[in-house]
Amino acid sequence: MERRKIVAAGLVLLAALSAHGAVPATLPETAAQFTPASPTSADTLALTLSGTWPNSCVPQTFRVLVVSGDSLWIDLLLPGWDLGSDCEPLMCLQVLSPWQLTGPVPALPPGSYDVFLRAVDCEEAGEYVQIGVLPVAPGVDGALSERFAPGERIVLLEDDPFGGFGLKAGQAGTVICCDSEDCSGNILVSWDLWTNGKLEPVPCANAAETLYPANSAIWMDPEQVRLGRHFNQCGTIRKGLQGCVHFEADDGKTYNVIASGEMYSTLDSGGAVAFDGRVRVRGLLNTTPPRPDELRLCLQQDGDIFHPTISLCPQAGPAPDPDPKPDPDPEPKPDPEPTPGPDSILINIGGSPLLLQQVPMSSGSYAGCADITVQLNFQAQLSVEITPADGVGGTWTGTLNPDIVGPGEVTTELCIEVVGLNIGAIGPGKDIQVATVTLMAAPAF
């Protein structure tokens, strides 16, 4: 009885394929969900991106560029994005593929952020497309903007500012609004328990109607008046020249700490809270530029921190024991966990994808089924042969239902199962032929 091969050399591909030229001409619709949904500048965010990709080369991760107070620029990184000069053309199956990624976003300064997205592979970057807007309100113990925002609490750091008769350093107030949409100019401040403010209505560029105590408000220019805002960060305290104290904060900036001589001496005495140690600094941050006639010994750098309090800041993890004692009765270490394999394996058979899912509780076993369409000019008895590649191993079986079909264009369900697969031979991120799948047809009588 003559047997004929009708489909050969099925290529088994891992789901994480490198993709050359995989950037879609039109960016697929993508949902962006931030947690918390209404963040403040004190919140570290989680961003979840999801959608349906037009092929099997779905995004693998993403990175975010922040333009402070203005916008977020997100790069969706497709398989192979980091290959550089080693970029090679690889196949992406043309199948609709659901995907989802979640990652952290650092605390953001207050503002309204336009959110943009593009796709990037190892050779090409697509066009940015705006996918949303994220408002960030002022918060406590978070990132600080160079600009004040409506609702923010501030403290006056000098006596008798221009137009503020009777206002003294230490007076607290609330920012009501700004005279420009981006708060780059003057701010209207309502000062606590102060009644010598403006009587006439004031034009606000970026706020709805706001109620505040009568005669308590006055316009302030942050470029001319020292205004302090809440500061609370961890970092490293450093000794400077001429008795200066510098603070290298976790936000990547360096601040000048307005410290008294007693505080400087204490930091220099080698105690628990000392120079070159990791500390938390709380106080009032001012970024008003020094006046032209102002003489300073200590540079302002990214800002001056007034009225500082300094305490220890916990380390990221427990400190090692400086004098570890041997375990009197050590327990044997368990055998290392076996390296997990991929959650799924994708098989391409004559252009038809077949997904093998990992069998629960078995790292080397996979199984899956898919409909296969073949063209026959006679009624045939179908069978399947699977030959694993060298080093892959495993016991492979294939079944067809129905297995007697034809003539004409017919569809049958092909199911494949493998047990004892050598996971080490198909590490993630590789394009490897691990088996040849062959359909055989013989005349059916």
pLDDT-derived band at 371, boundaries 50, 70, 90: confident
Residue 159 has pLDDT above 50, yes or no: yes
What's the whole-number average pLDDT of the chain? Answer: 78
Q: Are 149 and 183 in contact (CB under 8 A)?
A: yes
Residue that the structure tokens 């106080």 belong to: 283
Residue 432 has pLDDT above 90, yes or no: no
Q: Are 306 and 258 in contact (CB under 8 A)?
A: yes
Residue 14 has pLDDT above 50, yes or no: no
Classify 266 as helix, strand or coil.
Answer: helix
Residue that the structure tokens 């997990």 belong to: 340
Look up the pTM and report it: 0.44
- Residues in CB range of 205: below 8 A, 6 or more apart: 177, 178, 179, 180, 181
The architecture (CATH level 2) of 344-443 comes to Sandwich (2.60)
Fold of 228-312: OB fold (Dihydrolipoamide Acetyltransferase, E2P) (2.40.50)
> Would you list the DSSP string of 41-110?
TTPPEEEEEEEEESSS----EEEEEEETTTEEEEEEE-TTTT-GGG--------S-EEEEEEEEE----S
Q: For residues 394 and 321, give the distance between their C-alpha atoms in angstroms, rounded to a whole number.
A: 47
Q: Are 270 and 220 in contact (CB under 8 A)?
A: no
Q: For residues 434 and 417, give the distance between their C-alpha atoms in angstroms, rounded to a whole number.
A: 14
Over residues 346-358, mean pLDDT: 67
Residue 336 has pLDDT above 60, yes or no: no
| 344 closest CA partner among 1, 16, 72, 78 | 16
Residue 16 has pLDDT above 90, yes or no: no
The CA-CA-CA angle for residues 153, 160, 283, to 5°, reads 35
The CA-CA-CA angle for residues 100, 102, 103, to 5°, reads 150
**Helix ranges, 175-310 (H):** 261-267
User: Comparing 321 with 288, which gets the higher pLDDT?
Assistant: 288
In the chain, domain spans: 18-136, 144-225, 228-312, 344-443
Give the tokens for residue 17. 């394929």
pLDDT-derived band at 256, boundaries 50, 70, 90: very high
Classify 241 as helix, strand or coil.
Answer: helix
Burial 289-327 (b: 16+ CB within 10 A, else e): eeeeeeeeebeeebbbbbebebeebeeeeeeeeeeeeee
